[in-house]
């Protein structure tokens, strides 16, 4: 059966909430600590499974530690196919140490662990035979990301790419991307541009035109409380953010946003309609604690 493939990371999220972020050499009293399941790849797979109607298949790695089974079981509970998740012996699973400030803003340190053990030679073209889309980000090795994009392109499978954490992306890879989803910092890095604080619609349009000239089909730029900008070779626009009464934790909001866009465009929605749906989904995420646990279902949005 046709499915959406997600290639990426699985992490145990160790979340500490605090009013004050400590400076070097300083110790402060935190407000609380929780453990959640996360990782950009896993979060995106969960968002696709909970918000859409198509089967979702996760490709990635876990270690042989206490986090491995919970990470896999968390995906299974949302009916994500985990048959292509490998267990890597002798290493830890990926771990993200997350500090969440009282404003909801977060700071994240990621230890790759088993996420660093998938490479280009591990990517099997047979995985893409019945795929309707590939979703990928940068929390696994670069060679695996680029190889997956190349194979998807060869098989005419649309690619949704969030290049985070940011690294240099060659023009030949950008040319294979159907949906490039970035925040402002990632946009600046991808276009090698210094952006000021007061960005205009014209600035986004100019940068989008440059990316379209390199082959990117659709660009989506997330702007936090200012919504999102989008551009295709034939149109551009802005979608305002949904109002949120209280921001609890922004972790996972971007991954949910991406997953929501992909599930809608795979159901023949326009890019604008997909972003409108995604803003509703991500607004729910930021009002809840945790990453995976905060991702809503389709019924919560419709």
Q: Where do the structural domains in the chain lie, given as residue ranges? A: 3-9+39-91+115-301
Query: Active-site residue among 81, 171, 196, 255?
Result: 255
Give binding residues as ranges: 11-13, 39-43, 139, 183, 222-227, 249, 251, 254-255, 285, 288, 290, 294
Give binding residues for substrate as ranges: 11-13, 39-43, 139, 255
Report helix, strand or coil for 169: coil
Query: DSSP readout, 65-114?
Result: STTHHHHHHHHHTTT-EEEEEEEPTTSPPEEEEEEEETTS-EEEEEE-GG
Burial class (CB in 10 A: 0-12, 13-18, 19+), 3: middle
Q: What percent of the chain has pLDDT over 70?
A: 98
pLDDT for 139 equals 94
Torsions phi, psi for 218 (to 5 deg): -135, 135
**C-alpha span between 54 and 232 (Å, rounded):** 25
Range with the poorest average pLDDT among 29-33, 128-132, 200-204, 278-282: 200-204
Burial 39-71 (b: 16+ CB within 10 A, else e): bbbbbbbbbbbbbbebbbbbbbbbbeeebbeeb
Q: 227: which 2 tokens?
A: 């919504």
Q: 234: which 2 tokens?
A: 């034939």
Report whether pLDDT(250) > 80. no
Find the mean pLDDT for residues 9-30.
93
Span 164-176, pLDDT tens digits: 999 999 999 999 9
Pinpoint the alpha helices (H) of the chain. 40-51, 68-76, 142-154, 171-174, 184-191, 201-213, 253-265, 271-286, 298-301
Q: How confident is the model at residue 242 (pLDDT cuts 50, 70, 90)?
A: confident
Span 149-166, pLDDT tens digits: 999 999 999 999 999 999
Q: How confident is the model at residue 72 (pLDDT cuts 50, 70, 90)?
A: very high
Q: How confident is the model at residue 278 (pLDDT cuts 50, 70, 90)?
A: very high
Find the mean pLDDT for residues 207-211.
94
Give binding residues for K(+) as ranges: 249, 251, 285, 288, 290, 294
Q: How confident is the model at residue 103 (pLDDT cuts 50, 70, 90)?
A: confident
C-alpha distance from residue 207 to each of 102, 173, 230 (Å): 34, 17, 11
Q: How confident is the model at residue 252 (pLDDT cuts 50, 70, 90)?
A: confident
**C-alpha span between 293 and 277 (Å, rounded):** 19
Report whether pLDDT(120) > 70. yes
Q: How confident is the model at residue 291 (pLDDT cuts 50, 70, 90)?
A: low
The dihedral over CA atoms of 258, 260, 266, 271, expressed in degrees to the nearest 10, equals -70
Q: How confident is the model at residue 1 (pLDDT cuts 50, 70, 90)?
A: low
Report helix, strand or coil for 61: strand
Cα angle 248, 290, 297 (rounded to 5 degrees) comes to 95
CB-based contact 100:251 (threshold 8 Å): yes
Cα angle 261, 164, 18 (rounded to 5 degrees) comes to 95
Distance of CA 124 to the CA centre of its chain: 22
Distance of CA 226 to the CA centre of its chain: 19
Span 178-199, pLDDT tens digits: 999 999 999 999 999 887 776 7
Give binding residues for ATP as ranges: 183, 222-227, 254-255
Q: How confident is the model at residue 289 (pLDDT cuts 50, 70, 90)?
A: confident
255 carries an active-site annotation = yes
* Top-confidence residue, 300 or 1: 300
**C-alpha span between 153 and 149 (Å, rounded):** 6
pLDDT for 5 equals 98
DSSP designation for 12: E
CATH of 3-9+39-91+115-301, one of 1.10.10.10, 3.40.1190.20, 3.30.43.10, 3.30.565.10: 3.40.1190.20
* Top-confidence residue, 61 or 243: 61
Report helix, strand or coil for 294: helix
Find the mean pLDDT for residues 13-31.
93
């Amino acid at each position: 059966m046709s499915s959406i493939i997600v290639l990426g990371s699985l992490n145990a999220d160790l979340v500490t909430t605090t009013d004050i972020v400590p400076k070097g050499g300083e110790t402060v009293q935190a407000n609380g600590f929780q453990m959640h399941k996360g990782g950009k790849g896993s979060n995106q797979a969960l968002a696709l499974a909970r918000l859409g109607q198509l089967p979702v298949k996760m490709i990635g790695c876990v270690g042989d530690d206490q986090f491995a089974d919970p990470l896999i079981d968390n995906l299974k509970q949302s009916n994500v196919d985990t048959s292509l998740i490998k267990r890597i012996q002798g290493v830890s699973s990926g771990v993200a140490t997350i500090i969440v400030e009282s404003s909801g803003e977060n700071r994240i340190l990621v230890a790759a662990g088993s996420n660093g053990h998938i490479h280009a030679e591990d990517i099997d073209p047979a995985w893409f035979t019945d795929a309707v889309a590939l979703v990928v980000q940068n929390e696994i090795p670069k060679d695996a990301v680029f190889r997956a994009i190349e194979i998807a392109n060869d098989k005419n499978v649309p690619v949704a790419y969030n290049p985070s954490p940011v690294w240099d992306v060659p023009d030949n890879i950008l040319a294979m991307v159907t949906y490039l989803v970035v925040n402002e910092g990632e946009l600046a890095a991808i276009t090698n541009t210094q952006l000021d604080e007061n960005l205009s619609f014209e600035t986004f349009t100019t940068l989008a035109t440059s990316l379209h000239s390199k082959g990117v089909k659709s660009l989506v730029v997330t702007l936090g409380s200012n919504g999102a900008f989008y551009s295709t070779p034939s149109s551009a626009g802005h979608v305002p953010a949904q109002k949120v009464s209280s921001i609890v934790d922004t972790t996972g909001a971007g991954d949910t946003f991406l997953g929501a866009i992909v599930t809608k465009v795979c159901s023949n929605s326009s890019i604008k309609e997909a972003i409108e749906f995604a803003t509703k989904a991500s607004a729910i995420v930021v009002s809840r604690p945790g990453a995976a646990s905060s991702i809503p279902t389709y019924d919560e949005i419709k």
